[in-house]
Amino acid sequence: MTPALSFRNVWVEYGDHVVLEKVSLDVAPGSFVSIVGPSGAGKSTFLRLALGQEAPSRGEILLDGQPIPAEPGPDRGVVFQRYSVFPHMTVLQNVMFGARCDQAPFTGLLTGAKRRQAKAEALAILEQVGLSASLKAFPRALSGGMQQRLAIAQALITRPRILLLDEPFGALDPGVRLDMHELITGLWREHGLTILMVTHDIKEAFKLGTRVIAVDKRRHDPHAPQRYGSTAVYDFPLDDKQKTAIPREIAAMAGEV
């Protein structure tokens, strides 16, 4: 089976500062891959690469076997930790935005049957994320958790090949975070999504993922810390989603953070 997303020997370097080195990674369709690692290890660089915000200095990145375009597009959805919803649109308008871009590329406005269909789809997704009661609210009136629900609903409407999550629950209260875990797991199963999530919360990574990748530097030169980049140092496939104890190596790495 063609991987949904694959990194082939990817390097990211700025001058002599190596951020990522020799990263090879295949994300299978339908999997939920969590990326963990200490701060500054280049976790978010994975997402920037997958989004096309940044290009690798060496190697290639494939989406469904094709090289990814060098800029963000509707085939890759994203939810950031903050600021991923549009403050000037209501909840419903936020979710309909994807459909508007797709079907009205010049005005961004939909009319008639197209509008009704887009609205029906948006309402269905909003129902699933539990925002049906606040269709006309502006994001500033929503709590942090509700804003993230909205951001997820908004990303799902374009049916992306892969959903990229960048610390999506990092700014939320613990209780809300648990609700969001349930929500994203449910959506993942129901829509058959492929998810790549970056998080610094190792428990979250193991709880949600079908596979956990730990990113860190393999080698370290104390006199030239920028000389070596990070790579995938551990790769745990979690078959049958057995949520067993967190492996010792990872727990040790968390201690270093």
Asked if residues 248 and 202 have their Cβ atoms less than 8 Å apart, the reply is no
- As measured in angstroms, the least distance from the Cβ of 95 to other proteins is 10
Quick check: 153 and 132 in contact, CB under 8 A?
Answer: no
Query: Closest approach of Cβ 151 to other proteins, in Å?
Result: 8
Closer residue to other proteins in complex, CB, 51/233: 51
Instruction: Supply the minimum distance, in Å, between the C-beta of residue 78 and other proteins.
Output: 5
Alpha helices in 75-143 (DSSP H): 91-103, 112-129
CB of 235 to other proteins, least distance (A): 27
**6 or 94: CB nearest other proteins:** 94
**Residue carrying structure tokens 């492996």:** 247
Instruction: Rank residues 164 and 238 by Cβ distance to other proteins and give the closer one.
Output: 164
Dihedral-angle region of residue 103 (phi above 0 means left; psi in -120 to 50 means alpha; beta otherwise): alpha
Q: Name the residues that contact other proteins, by CB under 8 A.
A: 51, 53, 71-74, 76-78, 80, 82-89, 97-98, 100-102, 105-108, 138, 140, 151, 154-155, 157-158, 160
Cβ neighbors of 91 (< 8 A, separation 6 or more) are 126, 131, 134, 135, 136, 137, 138, 139, 142, 150
Nearer to other proteins, 59 or 72 (CB): 72
Pick 110 or 208: Cβ nearer other proteins? 110
- Residue 11, classed as helix, strand or coil, is strand
Q: How far is the CB of 254 from other proteins (least distance, A)?
A: 26
| Distance, CA of 13 to CA of 210 (rounded, Å) | 30
Distance, CA of 256 to CA of 43 (rounded, Å)? 16
